[in-house]
Structure 1
């Protein structure tokens, strides 16, 4: 399932207010910003400069697809080494540790060697089921417990590699939203690689509306439309990036405890949360845990979640009271 933005036409009002928008490439995907420009607020070119500074910082610090990023320099280090890293990188490592502990190790930021082994990562060569020996070898380099923060340094006691793909976009959206607020922009929708945050109202005074789409390749079907004001929204799904071998479907989403892709019937999870960073990480965590463990986790922690589950007849959805309360949406 993916998120689609239902925006009104970009027209001006008689009082001089206007809807502005811009976007571009980022993180191997795209970003987009829409905001209501009231009198005295900066124009889109000025705002875009500030947004793209943030995007460049995140790319330089956290990208696993460029060899000169801060995190890739750390990933290249052997065991028992430390590296000074920017505060945002350490913040994400701390969050990763928290989510790992709460999921009993299923969620883990150090799964990049596994992703490469199975063919999904930046150094992945071929999508295939690895041998038991190869998997056991790689598992020695997986585990959040191998990481330790010492002041402004990140240290490792094994040759682990950190991958922020499950939370970097959410962090980016929150950082952009904070910049927009600091520039006096309070009615906006900020999106990066599908993660988004909306606040305030559109130009016509109506709510920002987001369509949650059914996970299908043949057509786009809106299963749910939600109103968003002051919240981040993130969807994680296993339905686009996968391969099949021996009649078994293998997703790009991994359970770090087993070292293997998830195989349950939870197709996607959408989380709504005040923090887009948390929504991003939690949608991945719930997807890993699956339809039963994930649901119990969401209920225990009061997380607004919308589940799409594979069934013999297609897809069925399940949503909890926290999601209903936060989204203000309606079933279509």
Structure 2
């Protein structure tokens, strides 16, 4: 993380990933034994960071770090698509009409994926890994290019949540589908870490993994955790809006960092599972606020797939806090849902 010293005794810590910037005052303490603990490291092909207020007599900081790193290691063993020995990759390697016993968290995320798939009429789907690989974005992708119609048609035979079935503790498939949890695993990790911190008596924290985050309580000086929503630019960080967060997960999905150009057209890593192709619309990024970081993570991807009009209607229908950045001829247009305005205190 990068730190820039401001006037006085405050630093600006920026955690840049998928459109969110964390603004946190670094204070040694407030004269009452409180201090801001801060640690992080590598996870899920990216990074994580934890900031929390340690009050006098609370659990040792080394134990907190050990607990967090244990959670992240277990999630990677279960859900990573970049490890051939993970539970989900062993399942992905199985042929059609087979089953594999799975840990409860994997089955939980499959159920969440099914819910989001049904609510988006199949646009959102966890079984898009073959498509990601075909277009060059996945863990087995070879070259970023537009595939042939024949190759796309073949891969689409192996895409679709309807091919998955949960049977007790087993996950089964009737086609050679491959599951990719990248759109919800980090949010799940953040929720799991937050629950563990609460269980250890830590109630003032900001937990972040690969850009998905959740904040609760206050900083040592009593001020709120502040999150800057970043403009969709790949050349520099520009904050579009700063919000206070307490008890909510925050996730941003965008098409402006992971993409390729071919014949003058932009192809992003966000796919509509029905067509098998990257989305082609003017919605550049979506930030979602939700009590569950898992749901914020999944919903930000779902809304990005739907595009500006369908996503807006979905957010309003389901009372979702959403911050939309839409491309226009003159630059970018910002649109916010009513639920987002209530949370951020903005006026309609």
Q: What is the TM-score normalised by the length of structure 1?
A: 0.98
RMSD: 1.1
| Residues 77-226 of structure 1 aligned to structure 2 (within 5 Å) | 77-226=94-243
Contact 1:308–1:316 (8 Å) recurs in 2: yes
CA distance in structure 1 between the aligned counterparts of 2:299 and 2:177, rounded to whole angstroms: 22
Bigger relative CO (Cα 8 Å, ≥ 6 apart): 1
State the 1:247 CA deviation: 1.2
**Is 1:228 matched up with 2:245?**
yes
Task: Find runs of 4+ consecutive structure 1 residues off by over 4 angstroms.
Answer: none
- C-alpha offsets along residues 160-195 of structure 1, whole Å, 9 cap, x if unaligned? 000000000000000000000000000000000000
Corresponding residue SS for 1:10: coil
2:322 is equivalent to residue 305 of structure 1: yes
- Residue 260 of structure 1 is matched in structure 2 by 277
Q: For this pair of structures, how many residues does the alignment match? A: 331
Deviation for aligned residue 1:44: 2.3
Q: 2:335 is paired with a residue of what secondary structure?
A: strand
Residue 329 of structure 1: CA displacement?
6.4
- Give unpaired runs (5+ residues) of structure 2: 1-17
In the alignment, is the contact (CA less than 8 A) between 1:224 and 1:329 conserved in 2? no
Instruction: Give matches, 1:283-298, under 5 Å.
Output: 283-298=300-315
What does the per-residue CA deviation read over 1:7-44, in whole Å, with 9 as the maximum and x for residues that have no partner?
A: 00231121111111100000111000000111111232
Residue-by-residue CA offset, 1:59-99 (whole Å, 9 max, x unaligned) = 00000000000000000000000000000000000000000
Structure 1: runs of 5 or more not aligned: none
Deviation, structure 1 residue 330? 9.0
Distance 1:250 1:43 in 2: 47
**Equivalent position of 2:12 in the other structure:** none
Distance 1:112 1:34 in 2: 33
